[in-house]
Chains A and B, each alone.
Chain A
Amino acid sequence: MDWHEVLVQQSINGLTRGAVFALVALGYTMVYGIISLINFAHGDVFMLGLFVSLTIFTLLGMARTLVGWELVTILPLVFLATMLGCGLVNVTIDRLAYRPLRHAFRLAPLITAIGVSFMIENLALLWQGPAPVPYPDIFPSVDVLRDWVGLDTLVYLTTKDLLVIGVTAPLMFALQRFVTGTSWGRAMRAIAQDRETAQAMGINVEKMIMLTFFIGGALAGAAGLIQGIYYNIGTWYIGFQAGLRAFTAAVLGGIGNMPGAALGGLVIGFLSAWSDQYISARWTNAIVFSILILVLVFRPQGLLGEKAVDRV
Chain B
Amino acid sequence: MRRLKWLGIAGMAVLVTMLAGPADAQQCPKGKLRIYTSWPMQGAMIPEGTGMKNGVDMAVAEAGGVVAGHCLEVVNLDDASPQTGKWDGAVEAENANRAVGDALAIAYIGTYNSGAAKVSIPITNRAHMAQITPANTYPGLTKTKGAAPGEPGIYRPMGFVNYFRIVPADDIQGAVGAKWAKQRGAKKIFIIHDQELYGKGIADVFDATAKKIGLQIVGNEGIDFKQPDQKPVLTKARAAGADLIYMGGVVDTGAPIVIRQMKDLGMVAARNVRFLGPDGLLEEEVLKGATCDAAMQTDMHITFASLPFEKLKGIGASTYENYKKKYSKEPTAYALYSVEAGRIAIEGIKRAAPQLDKAKDIKEKRDAVRQAILNIKNYDGLNGKWSFDENGDSTLETMSGFKVVKADNPIGCKFEFETILE
A residues near B, CB below 8 A? Answer: 1, 5-6, 9-10, 13-14, 17, 122, 125, 129-132, 134, 137, 141, 143, 154, 156, 158, 160, 227, 231-235, 237-238, 241, 272-274, 276-277, 280-282, 284-285
Contact = CB atoms under 8 A, between A and B. Distances in A.
A131 B43 contact: yes
A261 to B, nearest CB: 20
B19 interface: no
A233 B232 CA distance: 17
Interface of A is mostly: helix
A44 B43 CA distance: 20
30 contacts: A1-B239, A5-B239, A9-B238, A9-B265, A10-B232, A13-B231, A13-B235, A14-B232, A17-B231, A17-B232, A125-B85, A130-B85, A131-B85, A131-B285, A132-B44, A132-B252, A134-B289, A134-B291, A232-B291, A233-B257, A233-B260, A237-B84, A237-B226, A238-B228, A241-B227, A273-B231, A276-B235, A277-B232, A282-B222, A284-B224
A241 B232 contact: no
Contact of A141 (B84, B239, B264): B264
A14 to B, nearest CB: 7
A21 B251 CA distance: 26
B177 interface: no
B288 A156 contact: no
Instruction: Please provide the 10 A-B residue pairs with the shortest distance between their CB atoms, ordered closest to farther.
Output: A130-B85, A130-B43, A276-B232, A131-B44, A282-B222, A273-B232, A6-B239, A13-B231, A281-B221, A1-B239
Most buried by A among B221, B229, B264: B229
Interface in B69-88: 83-86
B104 interface: no
A74 B168 CA distance: 52
B233 interface: yes
A241 B285 CA distance: 23
Contacts of B229: 13, 17, 231
A277 B239 contact: yes
B42 interface: yes
Contacts of A130: 42-44, 84-86
A233 B285 CA distance: 12
A234 B228 CA distance: 8
B287 to A, nearest CB: 10
Interface string B409-421: 0000000000000
A231 B224 contact: no
A134 B284 CA distance: 12
A141 B235 CA distance: 18
B222 A281 contact: yes
Contact of B235 (A10, A143, A235): A10
A281 B252 contact: no
Nearest to B200: A282
Given A17-B229, A134-B256, A231-B261, 11 more contacts: A5-B239, A137-B291, A154-B266, A156-B264, A227-B228, A233-B257, A241-B226, A273-B232, A276-B233, A276-B235, A282-B195
B260 A272 contact: no
Nearest to A227: B228
Nearest to B80: A130
A285 B44 contact: no
Contacts of B224: 281-282, 284-285
A156 B222 contact: no
Contact of B232 (A13, A134, A237): A13
A278 to B, nearest CB: 9
Given A130-B43, A130-B85, A134-B288, A232 B260 contact: yes
B385 interface: no
Nearest to B192: A281
Nearest to B411: A134
B236 interface: yes
A284 to B, nearest CB: 7
B223 interface: yes
Nearest to B261: A231
Most buried by B among A14, A233, A237, A281: A281
Given A10-B235, A131-B285, A143-B266, A280 B44 contact: no
A280 B221 contact: yes
A13 B236 CA distance: 11
B259 to A, nearest CB: 11
Contacts of A241: 226-227
B289 A233 contact: yes
A1 B285 contact: no
A13 B261 CA distance: 11
A281 B232 contact: yes
Interface string B265-304: 1100000000000000000010011010000000000000
A78 B184 CA distance: 46
B220 to A, nearest CB: 9
Given A6-B239, A233-B228, A129 B43 contact: yes
Interface string B214-226: 0000000111101
A233 B226 contact: no
A241 B226 CA distance: 7
Contacts of A10: 232, 235-236
A137 B289 CA distance: 11
Contacts of A14: 232
B257 A231 contact: yes
Interface in B37-85: 42-44, 83-85
Most buried by A among B238, B252, B261, B264: B264
A233 B289 CA distance: 7
A191 B85 CA distance: 43
A108 to B, nearest CB: 25
